[in-house]
Chains A and B, each alone.
Chain A
Amino acid sequence: MPGSSKILLIDTATEYVFLSLVIDGIEVGSAYRKDIQNHAVTVMPLLDGILKEAGIRLNQVTEVIVGVGPGSYTGVRIGVSIAKMIGYLNGIPVRTVSTLALLASGAEDGFILPAIDARRGNAFMACYRKESGKLTVLVPDTLANAESFIGTAGPGFHKVTEGKPDVRTLINSGLTLPVSNIHELVPNYLQVTEAERNKGKS
């Protein structure tokens, strides 16, 4: 089917590898798998399987949506590098989305607080609202002390730490952003490196 839309979604910023192939609005293949090895090993074989099953080749994908974090630095870089290369090689549009929005998209309707552990009591968090399939952001992605952020948000928020993203919700949300220059695409780390932080101090 020439001219049809073939959207590839990739997120590797959590303990899970998430891949989804959406052809003309229908998710024809997907993977959501907790990795025992690192994501670098699993992503491409999984992607290969999904594409073969759908009977298309990687260079026939018409758009990529990639989770750019926040989350695991090593993990997010793998997905972003892959999306960047697919976009560059085929000259197709790439859109970014928060990994926390991806997490929230799979949750039940209500007030949602997606959280990804960032060690030492901290987490990457945000607040979203999902209502009849419509996802909106209330508090943008933040790196903060988990307890105090959750306390401030209040008991009405449902904390979500894993779950397969819902691609229809995500694609229909206004939460994906176009990348204007593919060579400039980078993850959203939400913080500078320790070395950069310490540089100012000494």
Chain B
Amino acid sequence: MIVMGVESSCDETSVALVKDGKTVLSNAVLSQIDIHREYGGVVPEIASREHVKGISLVFDQAVKRAGIAFSDIDLIAVTAGPGLIGSLLIGVAAAKVIAMNFDIPIIGIHHIAGHIYANNIEHDLEFPCLALVVSGGHTQLIVMKGHYDFQIIGETADDAVGEAYDKIARVLGLPYPGGPLVDKKAALGKDLYKLPRPLIDSGDFQFSFSGLKSHVINLHHNMVQRQEPFAVEDICASFQEAVTDVLVKKTKEAAHRYAVKQVIVAGGVAANKGLRAKMTREITDVPVYFPGMAYCTDNAAMIAVAGYFKFQKTGKADDYAINGDSRLELK
């Protein structure tokens, strides 16, 4: 079964073709990072304009690279939310045109389900499975007892991990998107500052990162005020150690509590090298998997994989009234 994935929830326009929820035939991505960098973050109106500009071209790239025709496609899976509404609607509209033009069933996919299913490209999901979802918009622990069955057991009360990374990067004067740069600098620094590990002993799976973020921002501000010498690398390292300590400890506890067969990490922060290393080092009794680097950030291949399994499970397509929903819930 060949599934076409379509993703336009934020600042990447992406179309992919994936066979049987596993083999990526193509994964075309038009990234807008260079455009938004000038503004220090994603500007929604500019993102929407860029999606319209690139929408037909990215479909063309995806089918040509896969060497298939539109008529070979069995299912279209499109990100229906959450995300920027103006961005989502472009992908949804384009996907509907293909569905109607070639009479192919269409199915709406939750963006986070996509991030989770990015893991299936390299390692088959095995259940029960624990997913740590870490991105610019989400920090969640999700237990899956089977395909397309999501139980959120904990999430952040305030900032998402990726959001905290980006804000700290901005304060430290690192260009957008700053998260990956904080990771890079952290590798060169030392964990010098005794930063709090929020909720680390709470016994549940809730997170909170806004206090830690403010702590780092104040620490930096005070050192600048006092003209104290410091290395940005050490601030990054201290922040990263605090964050990953919390993420890893809670993930490990949840893995035991729910007796899972595997732990998977999903979302943009799954690309964080510090997190990858600590997860693998600390969680040794169950396998820990990460998506390949190309499938950590937003891409349509992951949406196609999720679409394949959702369709296998429900056997039901959506109709042409399918809408984009900026606050869609994971179900």
Contact = CB atoms under 8 A, between A and B. Distances in A.
A193 B49 contact: yes
Interface stretch (B84-92, B179-187, B230-238): B84-92
Contacts of B39: 195, 199
B167 to A, nearest CB: 19
B93 A89 contact: no
Contacts of B209: none
B43 A195 contact: yes
B45 A40 contact: no
A59 B321 CA distance: 20
Nearest to B48: A77
Contacts of B56: 84-85, 87-88, 182-183, 185
Which secondary structure characterizes the binding site on chain A?
helix
Interface stretch (B97-105, B109-117, B220-228, B287-295): B97-105
Given A77-B89, A193-B43, A195-B43, A37 B100 contact: no
A148 interface: no
A45 B93 contact: no
A44 B48 contact: no
Contacts of A40: 89, 92-93, 323-324
A73 interface: yes
A81 B90 CA distance: 6
Given A78-B93, A89-B101, A38 B323 contact: yes
Contact of B101 (A45, A58, A73, A186): A58
B96 interface: yes
A195 B41 CA distance: 11
Size class of the B contact interface (CB-based, 8 Å): 35 or more
B323 A41 contact: yes
Nearest to B324: A40
A118 B51 CA distance: 22
B97 A85 contact: yes
B60 interface: yes
B96 to A, nearest CB: 5
Query: Interface majority SS on B: helix, strand, loop or mixed?
Result: helix
Given A77-B48, A199-B39, A82 B97 contact: yes
Interface string A66-98: 000000011001101110111111100000000
A32 interface: no
Contacts of B86: 73-74, 77
B53 interface: yes
A84 B55 contact: yes
Contacts of B97: 44, 58, 81-82, 85-86, 89
A43 interface: yes
A77 B90 contact: yes
B7 to A, nearest CB: 15
Interface in A187-201: 187, 189, 193-196, 199
B52 interface: yes
A193 B89 contact: no
A73 B319 contact: no
Contacts of A57: 101, 103
A44 B78 CA distance: 15
A127 interface: no
Given A44-B321, A195-B46, A85 B98 contact: yes
Nearest to A187: B52
Contacts of B51: 77, 81
B286 interface: no
Contact of B320 (A44, A80, A86): A44
B69 to A, nearest CB: 11
B149 interface: no
B96 A44 contact: yes
A176 B246 CA distance: 60
Interface string B295-324: 000000000000000000000000111111
Contacts of B98: 85, 89
A43 B323 CA distance: 11
B205 interface: no
A90 B101 contact: yes
Contact of A45 (B45, B55, B102, B319): B319
A45 B92 contact: no
Given A41-B321, A78-B89, A196 B52 contact: no
Given A44-B97, A183-B57, 6 more contacts: A38-B89, A57-B101, A78-B89, A86-B101, A88-B60, A186-B52
7 contacts: A44-B97, A73-B48, A78-B90, A84-B55, A89-B101, A186-B53, A199-B38
